[in-house]
Amino acid sequence: MIAILKKELWSYFGNWSAWIIIAAFSLITTLFLFFFDNDSNIFEIGMASLQSYFVLVPWLLMFIIPALSMKTFAEEQQTGTLNWLFSQPLKISDLVFGKFFSVWIVGILCLIPSLIYLYTVYVLGVPAGNIDLGMTFGSYIGLIILIAAFSGVGILASSLSQNQIMAYLLGVFMCFIMYFGIEQLASYKLLGGADFILQNIGFYQHFLGFTRGLIDFKDVAYFVLIIGIALVLSNHFINKKK
């Protein structure tokens, strides 16, 4: 697994793709938070808070994480190197976990530049330091876990696809459904009491707790379960291709 992880990280950082994605992610969030006239602009909100950042980022991750994960298995199959990997003394589970952790790590690195925003808001607060650090750090933990969930879903999409474009589109669709689609469907209250159950199947309600500074064991367990299911299914579909 460590060998696969190193190989994947080198493939991201060795050809500048990870650097470009991190830079693009940081540029987009900076424009929305400080320059564009929108509901996420920190100066227009007038509060020493990064709450708008934590609302914006999941939407960007829906497109960025599938872009990172689409090549994990779809490219291997497209180029024929997947069969070569099958011939190596590797467990399929090691292959899946190695690729999963590589996508997760690059996704987490996308958040590092936001520490500049945290410092900026901390300094600009009146008085300086007037920011809810508990809510902020809880939200960061929530984002890290959400990135892991999106990574698991992206890996699953790549294991189901035979080319990278299909893997990307399927990954974006699955992430959208899990984060926003199920939540919206439940909001129409068409299923009566079952709406609450449906609402808790999606990512949004479980991520929302973190953005309030609440790290609930149930929310953590939910994401661990989702990631586990996604990776087990990925392992199954890759085994079928062996």
pLDDT tens per residue across span 108-126: 999 999 999 898 888 877 7
Q: Dihedral angle at the C-alpha atoms of 196, 201, 202, 203, nearest 10 degrees?
A: 110
Percent of the chain with pLDDT over 70: 98
Q: What are phi and psi of 214, to 5 degrees?
A: -105, 115
Q: Tokens for 207?
A: 């991520």
- Count the alpha carbons within 13 Å of 45 in the hemisphere toward its beta carbon: 19
pLDDT tens per residue across span 164-192: 999 999 999 999 999 998 888 887 776 66
Tell me which residue range forms the domain holding 25: 1-241
Is it the case that residue 67 has pLDDT exceeding 80?
A: yes
Lowest mean pLDDT among 1-10, 76-85, 107-116, 156-165: 76-85
Q: Give the span between the Cα atoms of 60 and 214, in whole angstroms.
A: 23
Is it the case that residue 91 has pLDDT exceeding 80?
A: yes
- How confident is the model at residue 90, as a pLDDT? 84
Q: Which of 95, 97, 98 is nearest to 81 (CA)?
A: 95
Residue carrying the six token digits 């424009």: 31
Is it the case that residue 195 has pLDDT exceeding 80?
A: no
> Mean pLDDT throughout 207-231?
93
The pTM of this model reads 0.93
Q: Give the span between the Cα atoms of 160 and 146, in whole angstroms.
A: 21
Is it the case that residue 233 has pLDDT exceeding 90?
A: yes
- How confident is the model at residue 123, as a pLDDT? 85
Q: Give the span between the Cα atoms of 50 and 72, in whole angstroms.
A: 32
CB 76 within 8 A of CB 88: no
Is it the case that residue 37 has pLDDT exceeding 90?
A: no
- How confident is the model at residue 147, as a pLDDT? 97
Domain count within the chain = 1
- How confident is the model at residue 179, as a pLDDT? 93
